[in-house]
């Protein structure tokens, strides 16, 4: 990274959902948990990472925050939400859980060797991508090239 991460910053992504309880049940089947301190009958704070959260908001609650009209997530794409998991197998497991819970497949597997992903739409039509990236690729091109040369040309 060219700029260091900002210590103490947290990410809260707010998305509207038609039925909060149904959405919570969907994401619970994908192994997401919720912070009860920030969850009530109008909102649920879904834990994504140590400093990253998705606020599932009833449409009414979302409208209180939004300054523009609410978009229909099933029409033109405004955003895609991507989260990482720890293995290729977990990508497939989370994607299978999303489909079993009522989501729909957005894209088949995408395999770039160092990165593997699948995409699905949640119950409200929001697009999600679950991905795994080889830890060596996160170190930059030189480290990734060295690690793949070691596996491709063992001594």
How confident is the model over 33-86, as pLDDT tens digits? 999 999 999 999 999 999 999 999 999 999 999 988 888 887 877 788 999 999
Q: Give the alpha-carbon dihedral of 24, 64, 79, 37, to 10 degrees.
A: -40
The per-residue pLDDT for 44 is: 98
Angle at the Cα of 115 from the Cα atoms of 111 and 119, rounded to 5 degrees: 65
Q: What is the pLDDT of residue 4?
A: 64
> Rounded to an integer, what distance in angstroms lies between the CA atom of residue 93 and that of residue 47?
18
Q: Note the pLDDT of residue 85.
A: 96
Give the pLDDT mean for 19-32. Answer: 98
Q: If you average pLDDT over residues 123-138, what whole number do you get?
A: 91
The predicted pLDDT at position 17 comes to 96
Instruction: Write down the H helix ranges in 29-118.
Output: 59-65, 88-100
- Burial label, 142 (beta-carbon count in 10 A; 0-12, 13-18, 19+): exposed
Length of the chain: 155
Output Rg (C-alpha) for the chain, integer angstroms.
18
Predicted local distance difference test score (pLDDT) of residue 48: 96
The pTM score is 0.80
- Per-residue pLDDT tens digits for 84-99: 999 999 999 999 999 9
């Amino acid at each position: 990274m060219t700029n260091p991460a900002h210590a103490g910053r947290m990410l809260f992504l707010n998305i509207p959902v038609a039925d909060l309880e149904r959405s919570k049940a969907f994401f619970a089947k994908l192994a997401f948990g919720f912070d009860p301190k920030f969850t009530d009958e109008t909102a649920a704070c879904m834990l994504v990472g140590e400093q990253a959260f998705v606020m599932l908001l009833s449409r009414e609650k979302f409208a209180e925050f939004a300054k523009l009209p609410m978009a229909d997530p099933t029409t033109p794409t405004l955003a895609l939400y991507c989260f990482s998991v720890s293995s290729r197998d977990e990508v497939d497991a989370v994607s299978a859980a999303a489909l079993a819970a009522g989501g729909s497949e957005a894209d088949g597997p995408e395999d770039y060797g160092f990165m593997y992903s699948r995409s699905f739409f949640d119950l409200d039509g929001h697009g999600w991508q679950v991905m795994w990236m080889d830890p060596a690729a996160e170190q930059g091109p030189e480290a990734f090239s060295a690690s793949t040369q070691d596996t491709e040309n063992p001594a």
